[in-house]
Amino acid sequence: MRLLVTGGTGQVGEALMRLAPKLGVTVIAPGRADLDLANPGAIKLPDGIDGVINAGAYTAVDKAESEPALAETINGIAPGVLATQAAKRDLPIVQISTDYVFDGTKTEPYLETDPVNPMSVYGRTKETGERAVREANPRHAIMRTSWVYAVHGNNFVKTMLRLGKERDQLKVVADQTGAPTLADDIAAAAVLMAKALTASNAGTYHYTAEGAVTWHGFAQAIWAKAGLRLGRQPKIDPIPTSGYPTPARRPKNSRLDCSKTVAAFGVVRRPWERALDETLAILLEEKP
Ligand SMILES: NC(=O)c1ccc[n+]([C@@H]2O[C@H](COP(=O)([O-])OP(=O)(O)OC[C@H]3O[C@@H](n4cnc5c(N)ncnc54)[C@H](OP(=O)(O)O)[C@@H]3O)[C@@H](O)[C@H]2O)c1
């Protein structure tokens, strides 16, 4: 299967490219110069592909608050163009989406059927993209995930490692809960979906690692391992969201119920701690 992947330089896109041989697919990943999501009118899917995974997005959650039009074009409009062009050739599309389409007020993990209520520009534009894909292509999977990290790219794990090397004390938000999810696992699940997608199993699917933790607990887990390797241990203090003001509001509860996805596609979910261990083993190979 030949898959067109957008966002090949991002965390999930890079994982898709790297893991393609293992996942039994060929990935074609044009860069921005050849496929610019900010210019949907110029998007043209290449010939000879069997499906699309849209892993490209405007992901700067806070910056989006001051660039809503650009975020809307990339996250809200471009996915619909990709989906429309794929539909004309009866090709499946996997649209990667986010827990930020929810407001986080539910106390249990979110189901795919729960009403969306995004609280940020980023969340609203991603939700617009979900609808556009659903409407344009009967062979779609909207795959919502959360708290993405990878060896490649910028993410919370790498930020915590850097800050913990520089400082003796870190203050980390302890009242937002979610499942940190390794980009490699998202890539594997997205390919499984792309391969199995028909018009009858099309729909919205949640996929994250197993388990849940707060950002504070995640930082503690990172440094529990990094501390042993690097011989230092920053103090990690819990703070409320109000103690770390950001332009965009984020859901307090980001937990996604993934049972529908497991039942439909047989995807593998690893405990978040196991994927983190694997990632840290690579990141900490570097000399302190
Ligand atoms: N990161 C998270 O915590 C998180 C959580 C839930 C869901 N998601 C979703 O997961 C997906 C993958 O996220 P990620 O973390 O892998 O993102 P990422 O690392 O921030 O990468 C974003 C990718 O999108 C590309 N992109 C941005 N604007 C573009 C444009 N105008 N034209 C073409 N490409 C453009 C970027 O290309 P450049 O390198 O050229 O900028 C990059 O390859 C996204 O749909 C995101 O919304 C992410």
- The per-residue pLDDT for 285 is 87
Best residue among 32, 35, 59 to mutate for probing ligand 1, ranked by most atoms within 8 Å of CB:
59
- The per-residue pLDDT for 288 is 42
Q: Could you give phi then psi for residue 177, rounded to 5 degrees?
A: -120, 140
- The per-residue pLDDT for 53 is 98
Which amino acid type is present at position 268? Answer: V
Of all protein residues, whose CA lies closest to atom 19 belonging to ligand 1? 10
Q: Long-range contacts of range 32-41, CB-CB < 8 Å, 24 or more positions apart?
A: 35/6, 37/6, 37/73, 37/74, 37/78, 38/70, 38/73, 38/74, 38/78, 40/73, 40/77, 40/78, 40/80, 40/81, 41/81
CB 216 within 8 A of CB 238: yes
Show the CA angle centred on residue 125, arms to residues 133 and 66, nearest 5°: 155
CB 255 within 8 A of CB 178: yes
Which amino acid type is present at position 255? Answer: R
Of all protein residues, whose CA lies closest to atom 21 belonging to ligand 1? 10
- The per-residue pLDDT for 286 is 60
- Measure the CA–CA gap between 68 and 248, rounded to whole angstroms: 12
- The per-residue pLDDT for 195 is 97
Which amino acid type is present at position 180? Answer: P
pLDDT in 10s for each residue of the chain, 288 residues: 999 999 999 999 999 999 999 999 999 999 999 999 999 999 999 999 999 999 999 999 999 999 999 999 999 999 999 999 999 999 999 999 999 999 999 999 999 999 999 999 999 999 999 999 999 999 999 999 999 999 999 999 999 999 999 999 999 999 999 999 999 999 999 999 999 999 899 999 999 999 999 999 999 999 999 999 999 999 999 999 999 999 999 999 999 999 999 999 999 999 999 999 999 999 998 644
Q: Which residues line ligand 1 (CB under 6 A)?
A: 6-13, 32, 35-38, 55-59, 74, 96, 98, 126, 145-148, 153, 183
CATH fold of 2-155+180-210+255-270, please?
Answer: Rossmann fold (3.40.50)
- The per-residue pLDDT for 41 is 97
What length does the chain have?
288
Task: Please pick, among 58, 110, 122, 207, the residue that the annotation labels catalytic.
Answer: 122
Whether this prediction's pTM lies above 0.95 is answered by yes
Give 181-194 as a DSSP string: EEHHHHHHHHHHHH
Q: How many CB atoms lie within 10 A of CB 158?
A: 17
122 catalytic, yes or no? yes
For the chain, domain boundaries: 2-155+180-210+255-270
